[in-house]
Structure 1
Amino acid sequence: MDSSGAVGAEHRRAGIRALPPNDPRQYDDLADQWWRPDGAFAMLHWLAAARARLVPPATGPGALLVDVGCGAGLLAPHLHGKGYRHVGVDLVRSALVQAAGHGVEPVVGDATAVPLADGCADVVVAGELLEHVPDLPGTVAGICRILRPGGLLVLDTLNATALSRLLAVRLAELVPGVPRGIHDPALFVDPRELIRLCARHGVRLSVRGVRPTFWRTAGWVVRTATGRSASTVDRPAPRIVPTWSTAVLYQGRGVKQS
Protein backbone atom coordinates (compact mmCIF):
# COMPACT_ATOMS: atom_id res chain seq x y z
CA MET A 1 0.00 0.00 0.00
CA ASP A 2 1.38 3.46 -0.88
CA SER A 3 1.46 6.32 1.62
CA SER A 4 -1.80 7.85 0.40
CA GLY A 5 -3.50 4.48 0.78
CA ALA A 6 -2.16 4.12 4.30
CA VAL A 7 -3.45 7.56 5.21
CA GLY A 8 -6.83 6.70 3.74
CA ALA A 9 -7.05 3.48 5.76
CA GLU A 10 -6.06 5.31 8.94
CA HIS A 11 -8.68 7.98 8.36
CA ARG A 12 -11.38 5.41 7.73
CA ARG A 13 -10.53 3.68 11.02
CA ALA A 14 -10.72 7.05 12.80
CA GLY A 15 -14.03 7.95 11.19
CA ILE A 16 -12.49 10.80 9.17
CA ARG A 17 -13.21 11.04 5.47
CA ALA A 18 -10.27 10.00 3.33
CA LEU A 19 -9.02 12.81 1.11
CA PRO A 20 -6.03 13.13 -1.23
CA PRO A 21 -2.88 14.76 0.18
CA ASN A 22 -3.02 18.58 0.20
CA ASP A 23 -6.78 18.62 -0.34
CA PRO A 24 -8.18 21.95 1.00
CA ARG A 25 -11.25 20.16 2.37
CA GLN A 26 -9.05 18.83 5.16
CA TYR A 27 -9.14 22.30 6.72
CA ASP A 28 -12.92 22.11 6.98
CA ASP A 29 -12.59 18.79 8.78
CA LEU A 30 -10.00 20.31 11.15
CA ALA A 31 -11.79 23.63 11.64
CA ASP A 32 -11.94 23.24 15.42
CA GLN A 33 -8.14 22.90 15.62
CA TRP A 34 -7.06 26.34 14.35
CA TRP A 35 -6.96 28.20 17.67
CA ARG A 36 -5.93 25.33 19.97
CA PRO A 37 -2.34 26.10 21.08
CA ASP A 38 -1.46 22.40 21.23
CA GLY A 39 -3.79 21.33 18.43
CA ALA A 40 -3.14 20.12 14.91
CA PHE A 41 -2.01 23.57 13.78
CA ALA A 42 0.25 24.37 16.74
CA MET A 43 3.30 24.99 14.58
CA LEU A 44 1.36 27.48 12.47
CA HIS A 45 0.99 29.61 15.62
CA TRP A 46 4.77 29.59 16.13
CA LEU A 47 5.34 30.47 12.48
CA ALA A 48 2.79 33.29 12.57
CA ALA A 49 4.66 34.91 15.45
CA ALA A 50 7.97 34.62 13.57
CA ARG A 51 6.40 36.00 10.40
CA ALA A 52 5.01 39.02 12.22
CA ARG A 53 8.48 39.87 13.51
CA LEU A 54 9.46 40.58 9.88
CA VAL A 55 6.62 43.09 9.46
CA PRO A 56 7.51 46.63 10.56
CA PRO A 57 4.93 49.06 11.95
CA ALA A 58 2.83 50.82 9.31
CA THR A 59 4.31 54.06 8.07
CA GLY A 60 0.99 55.88 7.85
CA PRO A 61 -2.77 55.65 8.32
CA GLY A 62 -4.67 53.29 6.06
CA ALA A 63 -1.72 50.99 5.36
CA LEU A 64 -2.94 47.69 3.94
CA LEU A 65 -1.53 44.26 4.77
CA VAL A 66 -2.85 41.41 2.65
CA ASP A 67 -2.47 37.98 4.24
CA VAL A 68 -2.68 35.46 1.38
CA GLY A 69 -3.54 31.97 2.60
CA CYS A 70 -4.54 33.48 5.94
CA GLY A 71 -6.34 30.42 7.28
CA ALA A 72 -8.18 31.29 10.47
CA GLY A 73 -6.21 34.51 10.96
CA LEU A 74 -3.41 33.28 13.20
CA LEU A 75 -1.28 36.26 12.21
CA ALA A 76 -3.81 38.77 13.57
CA PRO A 77 -2.84 38.80 17.28
CA HIS A 78 0.78 39.46 16.35
CA LEU A 79 -0.11 42.54 14.29
CA HIS A 80 -1.93 44.36 17.08
CA GLY A 81 -0.55 47.86 17.44
CA LYS A 82 1.28 47.85 14.10
CA GLY A 83 -1.35 49.99 12.42
CA TYR A 84 -2.42 47.89 9.43
CA ARG A 85 -5.77 47.19 7.91
CA HIS A 86 -5.55 43.39 7.79
CA VAL A 87 -7.20 41.69 4.81
CA GLY A 88 -7.09 37.89 4.65
CA VAL A 89 -7.46 35.87 1.45
CA ASP A 90 -8.21 32.16 1.50
CA LEU A 91 -10.17 29.47 -0.33
CA VAL A 92 -11.44 27.82 2.87
CA ARG A 93 -14.62 29.56 3.98
CA SER A 94 -14.77 27.87 7.38
CA ALA A 95 -11.31 29.28 8.15
CA LEU A 96 -12.27 32.77 6.96
CA VAL A 97 -15.24 32.80 9.33
CA GLN A 98 -12.82 32.35 12.22
CA ALA A 99 -10.39 34.91 10.78
CA ALA A 100 -13.18 37.49 10.70
CA GLY A 101 -13.78 36.84 14.38
CA HIS A 102 -10.20 37.93 15.04
CA GLY A 103 -10.46 41.22 13.20
CA VAL A 104 -9.37 40.10 9.73
CA GLU A 105 -11.34 41.35 6.72
CA PRO A 106 -12.09 38.09 4.87
CA VAL A 107 -11.84 37.69 1.10
CA VAL A 108 -12.58 34.40 -0.64
CA GLY A 109 -10.04 33.98 -3.40
CA ASP A 110 -7.34 31.95 -5.08
CA ALA A 111 -3.73 33.05 -4.70
CA THR A 112 -3.23 33.03 -8.46
CA ALA A 113 -6.10 35.49 -8.92
CA VAL A 114 -6.39 37.51 -5.72
CA PRO A 115 -9.54 39.64 -6.12
CA LEU A 116 -7.80 42.88 -5.15
CA ALA A 117 -6.44 45.78 -7.20
CA ASP A 118 -2.92 45.90 -8.61
CA GLY A 119 -0.47 47.59 -6.25
CA CYS A 120 -2.97 47.99 -3.42
CA ALA A 121 -0.95 46.42 -0.61
CA ASP A 122 1.82 47.95 1.48
CA VAL A 123 2.67 44.48 2.78
CA VAL A 124 1.82 41.06 1.37
CA VAL A 125 2.26 38.04 3.62
CA ALA A 126 2.23 34.49 2.27
CA GLY A 127 2.83 32.18 5.21
CA GLU A 128 2.94 28.40 4.79
CA LEU A 129 1.14 28.81 1.49
CA LEU A 130 3.56 28.18 -1.35
CA GLU A 131 4.16 24.51 -0.52
CA HIS A 132 0.43 23.92 -1.05
CA VAL A 133 -0.11 25.54 -4.45
CA PRO A 134 -0.06 23.53 -7.70
CA ASP A 135 0.80 26.67 -9.73
CA LEU A 136 3.83 28.26 -8.09
CA PRO A 137 4.62 30.72 -10.92
CA GLY A 138 0.99 31.87 -11.03
CA THR A 139 0.86 32.28 -7.27
CA VAL A 140 4.05 34.32 -7.12
CA ALA A 141 2.75 36.50 -9.96
CA GLY A 142 -0.54 36.97 -8.08
CA ILE A 143 0.99 38.01 -4.77
CA CYS A 144 3.53 40.32 -6.42
CA ARG A 145 0.84 41.94 -8.56
CA ILE A 146 -1.05 43.31 -5.57
CA LEU A 147 2.11 44.64 -3.89
CA ARG A 148 2.81 48.35 -4.45
CA PRO A 149 6.27 49.53 -5.55
CA GLY A 150 8.33 49.84 -2.39
CA GLY A 151 6.01 47.39 -0.63
CA LEU A 152 7.20 44.46 1.45
CA LEU A 153 6.71 40.74 0.74
CA VAL A 154 7.06 38.33 3.68
CA LEU A 155 6.75 34.56 3.31
CA ASP A 156 7.79 31.22 4.69
CA THR A 157 7.65 27.76 3.16
CA LEU A 158 9.22 24.30 3.01
CA ASN A 159 12.23 23.48 0.86
CA ALA A 160 12.15 20.86 -1.88
CA THR A 161 14.77 18.60 -0.30
CA ALA A 162 14.87 15.01 0.89
CA LEU A 163 15.56 16.24 4.43
CA SER A 164 12.49 18.47 4.35
CA ARG A 165 10.31 15.60 3.15
CA LEU A 166 11.70 13.38 5.89
CA LEU A 167 11.24 15.83 8.77
CA ALA A 168 8.13 17.74 7.70
CA VAL A 169 6.14 14.79 6.39
CA ARG A 170 7.36 11.33 7.29
CA LEU A 171 8.53 12.04 10.85
CA ALA A 172 6.16 14.90 11.68
CA GLU A 173 3.13 12.80 10.76
CA LEU A 174 4.19 10.16 13.28
CA VAL A 175 3.48 12.63 16.11
CA PRO A 176 -0.02 12.01 17.54
CA GLY A 177 -2.34 14.86 16.70
CA VAL A 178 -0.40 16.04 13.65
CA PRO A 179 -2.73 15.72 10.63
CA ARG A 180 -1.78 13.24 7.93
CA GLY A 181 -1.76 14.25 4.31
CA ILE A 182 -1.77 18.02 4.82
CA HIS A 183 1.31 18.30 2.60
CA ASP A 184 2.14 16.97 -0.83
CA PRO A 185 5.95 16.99 -0.82
CA ALA A 186 5.99 17.21 -4.61
CA LEU A 187 4.90 20.85 -4.15
CA PHE A 188 7.73 21.88 -1.81
CA VAL A 189 9.61 24.95 -3.02
CA ASP A 190 13.25 25.33 -4.06
CA PRO A 191 14.36 28.76 -2.74
CA ARG A 192 16.44 29.39 -5.86
CA GLU A 193 13.35 29.02 -8.01
CA LEU A 194 11.35 31.22 -5.67
CA ILE A 195 13.98 33.97 -5.78
CA ARG A 196 14.00 33.79 -9.58
CA LEU A 197 10.21 33.98 -9.82
CA CYS A 198 10.01 36.94 -7.45
CA ALA A 199 12.71 38.78 -9.40
CA ARG A 200 10.66 38.32 -12.57
CA HIS A 201 7.96 40.43 -10.90
CA GLY A 202 10.24 43.07 -9.46
CA VAL A 203 10.69 41.70 -5.93
CA ARG A 204 14.25 41.20 -4.74
CA LEU A 205 13.82 38.36 -2.26
CA SER A 206 16.34 37.27 0.34
CA VAL A 207 15.89 34.01 2.26
CA ARG A 208 17.12 32.54 5.51
CA GLY A 209 16.64 29.21 7.20
CA VAL A 210 14.51 28.97 10.32
CA ARG A 211 13.69 26.24 12.82
CA PRO A 212 11.75 25.76 16.05
CA THR A 213 13.69 25.88 19.31
CA PHE A 214 14.65 22.33 20.23
CA TRP A 215 13.73 21.86 23.90
CA ARG A 216 10.38 23.62 23.76
CA THR A 217 9.49 21.65 20.65
CA ALA A 218 10.49 18.41 22.34
CA GLY A 219 8.23 19.34 25.24
CA TRP A 220 5.37 20.02 22.84
CA VAL A 221 5.87 16.61 21.19
CA VAL A 222 5.77 14.89 24.61
CA ARG A 223 2.63 16.78 25.65
CA THR A 224 0.96 15.98 22.35
CA ALA A 225 1.92 12.31 22.50
CA THR A 226 0.66 11.94 26.07
CA GLY A 227 -2.48 14.00 25.58
CA ARG A 228 -1.57 16.65 28.16
CA SER A 229 -2.70 20.21 27.43
CA ALA A 230 -0.23 23.06 27.38
CA SER A 231 -0.10 25.93 29.84
CA THR A 232 1.01 29.09 28.10
CA VAL A 233 2.31 30.34 31.46
CA ASP A 234 4.25 27.28 32.64
CA ARG A 235 5.16 25.94 29.20
CA PRO A 236 5.81 28.74 26.71
CA ALA A 237 5.31 27.86 23.07
CA PRO A 238 8.31 26.99 20.91
CA ARG A 239 9.88 29.94 19.14
CA ILE A 240 10.93 29.95 15.48
CA VAL A 241 14.52 31.16 15.25
CA PRO A 242 17.00 31.70 12.40
CA THR A 243 19.36 28.88 11.48
CA TRP A 244 22.26 28.50 9.06
CA SER A 245 20.48 26.08 6.72
CA THR A 246 17.49 26.58 4.43
CA ALA A 247 17.26 22.82 3.82
CA VAL A 248 13.91 22.36 5.62
CA LEU A 249 12.06 25.56 6.49
CA TYR A 250 12.89 29.06 5.34
CA GLN A 251 11.62 32.63 5.43
CA GLY A 252 11.73 35.14 2.62
CA ARG A 253 11.63 38.92 2.76
CA GLY A 254 11.79 41.29 -0.18
CA VAL A 255 10.85 44.73 -1.44
CA LYS A 256 9.16 45.41 -4.77
CA GLN A 257 11.27 47.67 -6.92
CA SER A 258 9.82 50.90 -8.30
Structure 2
Amino acid sequence: MTFNNKVVWITGASSGIGKSLAITLSQENCKLILSSRRKEALEKVKALCNNPKNITVLPLDLAETNSLKKITEMAISSFGKIDILINNGGISQRSPIIETTIEVDRKLMEVDYLGTVALSKALLPHFVANNYGHYVVVSSLMGKFSSPFRSAYCGAKHALHGFFDALRLEHEADNVKVTMICPGFVNTNVARNALTADGSKQGDQDEMTEKGLPVAVFTKKMLQAIRKEKFEAYIGKKERFGIYLKRISPKLLHKLVLRSKVR
Protein backbone atom coordinates (compact mmCIF):
# COMPACT_ATOMS: atom_id res chain seq x y z
CA MET A 1 0.00 0.00 0.00
CA THR A 2 1.15 3.55 -0.70
CA PHE A 3 -0.22 6.89 0.44
CA ASN A 4 -0.29 8.14 -3.16
CA ASN A 5 -3.63 9.85 -3.90
CA LYS A 6 -5.03 8.70 -0.56
CA VAL A 7 -7.14 10.78 1.82
CA VAL A 8 -5.96 10.24 5.39
CA TRP A 9 -7.94 11.35 8.46
CA ILE A 10 -5.90 11.70 11.66
CA THR A 11 -7.45 12.17 15.11
CA GLY A 12 -5.38 13.53 17.98
CA ALA A 13 -3.47 15.51 15.36
CA SER A 14 -2.71 18.60 17.46
CA SER A 15 0.29 17.18 19.33
CA GLY A 16 2.58 14.21 19.87
CA ILE A 17 2.25 11.25 17.53
CA GLY A 18 -0.65 12.80 15.60
CA LYS A 19 1.27 16.00 14.93
CA SER A 20 4.31 14.06 13.78
CA LEU A 21 2.16 11.91 11.48
CA ALA A 22 0.58 15.00 9.94
CA ILE A 23 3.91 16.70 9.22
CA THR A 24 5.45 13.51 7.81
CA LEU A 25 2.46 12.55 5.67
CA SER A 26 2.21 16.08 4.26
CA GLN A 27 5.41 15.24 2.35
CA GLU A 28 3.56 12.43 0.55
CA ASN A 29 1.19 12.80 -2.41
CA CYS A 30 -1.93 12.56 -0.24
CA LYS A 31 -4.59 14.74 1.36
CA LEU A 32 -5.03 15.09 5.11
CA ILE A 33 -7.87 15.79 7.51
CA LEU A 34 -6.60 16.84 10.94
CA SER A 35 -8.83 16.48 14.00
CA SER A 36 -8.65 17.07 17.73
CA ARG A 37 -10.54 19.25 20.19
CA ARG A 38 -8.28 22.31 19.74
CA LYS A 39 -8.79 24.10 16.43
CA GLU A 40 -6.08 26.69 17.10
CA ALA A 41 -3.49 23.96 17.77
CA LEU A 42 -4.56 22.13 14.60
CA GLU A 43 -4.06 25.29 12.55
CA LYS A 44 -0.53 25.55 13.93
CA VAL A 45 0.17 21.97 12.89
CA LYS A 46 -1.23 22.69 9.43
CA ALA A 47 1.14 25.67 9.13
CA LEU A 48 4.08 23.32 9.73
CA CYS A 49 2.98 20.96 6.95
CA ASN A 50 3.77 20.91 3.25
CA ASN A 51 0.97 21.59 0.76
CA PRO A 52 -1.52 23.22 3.19
CA LYS A 53 -4.09 23.39 0.37
CA ASN A 54 -4.32 19.60 0.68
CA ILE A 55 -5.11 19.77 4.40
CA THR A 56 -8.47 20.28 6.12
CA VAL A 57 -8.81 21.12 9.80
CA LEU A 58 -11.88 19.50 11.39
CA PRO A 59 -12.21 19.80 15.19
CA LEU A 60 -13.98 17.04 17.10
CA ASP A 61 -14.35 15.70 20.63
CA LEU A 62 -14.29 11.92 20.89
CA ALA A 63 -16.27 12.10 24.14
CA GLU A 64 -19.22 13.61 22.25
CA THR A 65 -20.15 10.45 20.38
CA ASN A 66 -23.51 11.81 19.19
CA SER A 67 -21.71 14.43 17.09
CA LEU A 68 -19.37 12.04 15.29
CA LYS A 69 -21.72 10.88 12.53
CA LYS A 70 -22.24 14.47 11.35
CA ILE A 71 -18.52 15.20 11.61
CA THR A 72 -17.79 12.09 9.55
CA GLU A 73 -20.10 13.40 6.81
CA MET A 74 -18.17 16.68 6.88
CA ALA A 75 -14.86 14.81 6.66
CA ILE A 76 -15.98 12.83 3.62
CA SER A 77 -17.20 15.99 1.90
CA SER A 78 -13.80 17.67 2.38
CA PHE A 79 -12.14 15.69 -0.43
CA GLY A 80 -14.98 13.42 -1.60
CA LYS A 81 -13.67 10.29 0.08
CA ILE A 82 -11.62 8.90 2.95
CA ASP A 83 -9.21 6.02 2.46
CA ILE A 84 -7.48 5.76 5.84
CA LEU A 85 -8.66 6.69 9.33
CA ILE A 86 -5.85 6.91 11.88
CA ASN A 87 -7.54 6.62 15.27
CA ASN A 88 -4.84 8.31 17.32
CA GLY A 89 -6.86 10.51 19.68
CA GLY A 90 -7.04 9.52 23.34
CA ILE A 91 -5.85 10.06 26.89
CA SER A 92 -3.82 8.07 29.41
CA GLN A 93 -4.04 7.53 33.17
CA ARG A 94 -1.63 7.16 36.11
CA SER A 95 -3.06 6.24 39.52
CA PRO A 96 -3.58 3.26 41.87
CA ILE A 97 -6.82 1.35 41.34
CA ILE A 98 -7.86 1.72 44.98
CA GLU A 99 -7.70 5.53 44.73
CA THR A 100 -9.10 6.00 41.22
CA THR A 101 -12.68 7.21 40.99
CA ILE A 102 -15.04 5.37 38.66
CA GLU A 103 -15.48 8.66 36.77
CA VAL A 104 -11.87 8.32 35.59
CA ASP A 105 -12.51 4.78 34.34
CA ARG A 106 -15.64 6.02 32.58
CA LYS A 107 -13.75 8.93 30.97
CA LEU A 108 -11.07 6.63 29.56
CA MET A 109 -13.68 4.28 28.14
CA GLU A 110 -15.71 7.15 26.67
CA VAL A 111 -12.73 8.72 24.90
CA ASP A 112 -10.25 5.92 24.16
CA TYR A 113 -12.78 3.17 23.42
CA LEU A 114 -16.31 4.42 22.74
CA GLY A 115 -15.20 7.58 20.92
CA THR A 116 -12.90 5.60 18.66
CA VAL A 117 -15.56 2.95 18.03
CA ALA A 118 -18.29 5.53 17.32
CA LEU A 119 -16.11 7.38 14.80
CA SER A 120 -15.07 4.15 13.11
CA LYS A 121 -18.66 2.89 12.89
CA ALA A 122 -19.77 6.22 11.40
CA LEU A 123 -17.17 5.82 8.65
CA LEU A 124 -17.73 2.10 8.03
CA PRO A 125 -20.61 2.42 5.48
CA HIS A 126 -18.37 4.69 3.38
CA PHE A 127 -15.57 2.12 3.42
CA VAL A 128 -17.98 -0.68 2.50
CA ALA A 129 -19.54 1.34 -0.34
CA ASN A 130 -16.06 2.06 -1.75
CA ASN A 131 -14.94 -1.54 -1.26
CA TYR A 132 -11.83 -0.18 0.43
CA GLY A 133 -10.85 1.36 3.72
CA HIS A 134 -8.07 1.13 6.25
CA TYR A 135 -8.48 1.65 9.99
CA VAL A 136 -5.26 2.36 11.83
CA VAL A 137 -5.76 2.26 15.58
CA VAL A 138 -3.14 3.58 17.98
CA SER A 139 -3.54 1.18 20.87
CA SER A 140 -0.60 0.44 23.19
CA LEU A 141 1.50 -2.42 24.45
CA MET A 142 -0.84 -1.94 27.40
CA GLY A 143 -3.58 -3.22 25.11
CA LYS A 144 -1.79 -6.59 25.09
CA PHE A 145 -0.47 -6.81 28.66
CA SER A 146 -0.95 -4.63 31.71
CA SER A 147 1.17 -2.49 33.99
CA PRO A 148 0.61 -0.98 37.45
CA PHE A 149 -1.12 2.39 37.81
CA ARG A 150 -2.69 2.27 34.33
CA SER A 151 -5.79 0.15 35.00
CA ALA A 152 -8.33 2.36 33.19
CA TYR A 153 -5.97 2.88 30.27
CA CYS A 154 -5.20 -0.83 29.98
CA GLY A 155 -8.90 -1.69 30.12
CA ALA A 156 -9.80 0.73 27.32
CA LYS A 157 -6.90 -0.37 25.10
CA HIS A 158 -7.65 -4.08 25.61
CA ALA A 159 -11.24 -3.35 24.56
CA LEU A 160 -10.08 -1.76 21.29
CA HIS A 161 -8.37 -5.00 20.27
CA GLY A 162 -11.52 -7.01 20.89
CA PHE A 163 -13.65 -4.67 18.78
CA PHE A 164 -11.31 -4.20 15.84
CA ASP A 165 -10.39 -7.88 15.62
CA ALA A 166 -14.14 -8.53 15.16
CA LEU A 167 -14.47 -5.71 12.61
CA ARG A 168 -11.57 -7.11 10.59
CA LEU A 169 -13.26 -10.51 10.47
CA GLU A 170 -16.70 -9.17 9.55
CA HIS A 171 -15.45 -6.94 6.72
CA GLU A 172 -12.69 -9.00 5.13
CA ALA A 173 -14.91 -9.42 2.07
CA ASP A 174 -15.38 -5.63 1.85
CA ASN A 175 -11.62 -5.06 1.59
CA VAL A 176 -11.58 -3.19 4.91
CA LYS A 177 -8.17 -3.36 6.59
CA VAL A 178 -7.29 -2.95 10.26
CA THR A 179 -3.81 -2.20 11.62
CA MET A 180 -3.39 -2.08 15.39
CA ILE A 181 -0.36 0.02 16.38
CA CYS A 182 0.97 -0.82 19.84
CA PRO A 183 3.49 1.76 21.07
CA GLY A 184 5.74 1.21 24.01
CA PHE A 185 7.30 4.30 25.56
CA VAL A 186 7.36 7.27 23.16
CA ASN A 187 8.72 10.64 24.24
CA THR A 188 5.57 12.77 23.98
CA ASN A 189 3.40 14.62 26.50
CA VAL A 190 1.13 11.60 27.04
CA ALA A 191 2.30 11.17 30.64
CA ARG A 192 1.97 14.87 31.46
CA ASN A 193 -1.61 14.84 30.18
CA ALA A 194 -2.53 11.55 31.86
CA LEU A 195 -5.43 11.63 34.32
CA THR A 196 -4.77 10.92 37.98
CA ALA A 197 -7.08 9.39 40.59
CA ASP A 198 -9.43 12.38 40.80
CA GLY A 199 -9.41 13.17 37.06
CA SER A 200 -6.83 15.97 37.19
CA LYS A 201 -3.80 15.92 34.89
CA GLN A 202 -0.56 14.42 36.17
CA GLY A 203 1.39 17.40 34.86
CA ASP A 204 4.87 15.87 34.88
CA GLN A 205 6.86 13.40 32.82
CA ASP A 206 7.94 9.97 34.03
CA GLU A 207 11.43 8.60 33.49
CA MET A 208 10.46 5.74 31.18
CA THR A 209 8.46 8.01 28.85
CA GLU A 210 11.29 10.56 28.83
CA LYS A 211 13.69 7.81 27.71
CA GLY A 212 11.24 6.40 25.16
CA LEU A 213 11.53 6.40 21.39
CA PRO A 214 11.80 9.85 19.79
CA VAL A 215 8.46 10.59 18.18
CA ALA A 216 10.03 10.95 14.72
CA VAL A 217 11.54 7.46 14.96
CA PHE A 218 8.23 6.03 16.14
CA THR A 219 6.36 7.75 13.29
CA LYS A 220 8.67 6.25 10.67
CA LYS A 221 8.14 2.75 12.05
CA MET A 222 4.38 3.28 12.31
CA LEU A 223 4.09 4.39 8.69
CA GLN A 224 6.09 1.34 7.60
CA ALA A 225 3.58 -0.89 9.41
CA ILE A 226 0.66 0.90 7.71
CA ARG A 227 2.23 0.52 4.27
CA LYS A 228 2.65 -3.22 4.90
CA GLU A 229 -0.98 -3.42 6.12
CA LYS A 230 0.14 -5.31 9.21
CA PHE A 231 -2.52 -6.68 11.54
CA GLU A 232 -0.51 -5.52 14.57
CA ALA A 233 2.78 -3.71 15.09
CA TYR A 234 4.67 -3.51 18.39
CA ILE A 235 6.88 -0.42 18.38
CA GLY A 236 9.20 0.49 21.21
CA LYS A 237 12.45 -0.49 22.85
CA LYS A 238 12.94 -3.60 25.00
CA GLU A 239 9.45 -3.24 26.51
CA ARG A 240 7.93 -4.62 23.31
CA PHE A 241 9.31 -8.07 24.17
CA GLY A 242 6.68 -8.24 26.90
CA ILE A 243 4.25 -9.22 24.12
CA TYR A 244 6.15 -12.42 23.40
CA LEU A 245 6.99 -13.16 27.02
CA LYS A 246 3.31 -13.10 27.96
CA ARG A 247 2.66 -15.84 25.40
CA ILE A 248 5.40 -18.00 26.87
CA SER A 249 5.04 -17.29 30.59
CA PRO A 250 2.50 -14.76 31.93
CA LYS A 251 3.79 -15.38 35.46
CA LEU A 252 7.37 -14.49 34.50
CA LEU A 253 6.17 -11.30 32.78
CA HIS A 254 4.23 -10.44 35.95
CA LYS A 255 7.41 -10.76 38.04
CA LEU A 256 9.51 -8.72 35.64
CA VAL A 257 6.97 -5.89 35.47
CA LEU A 258 6.83 -5.81 39.27
CA ARG A 259 10.60 -5.39 39.39
CA SER A 260 10.69 -2.72 36.69
CA LYS A 261 10.72 1.04 37.19
CA VAL A 262 7.33 1.45 35.51
CA ARG A 263 5.18 3.59 37.78
TM-score tier, shorter chain, comes to 0.3 to 0.5
TM-score (norm 1): 0.47
Q: Higher strand fraction: Structure 1 or Structure 2? A: 1
Q: Higher helix fraction: Structure 1 or Structure 2? A: 2
TM-score (norm 2): 0.46
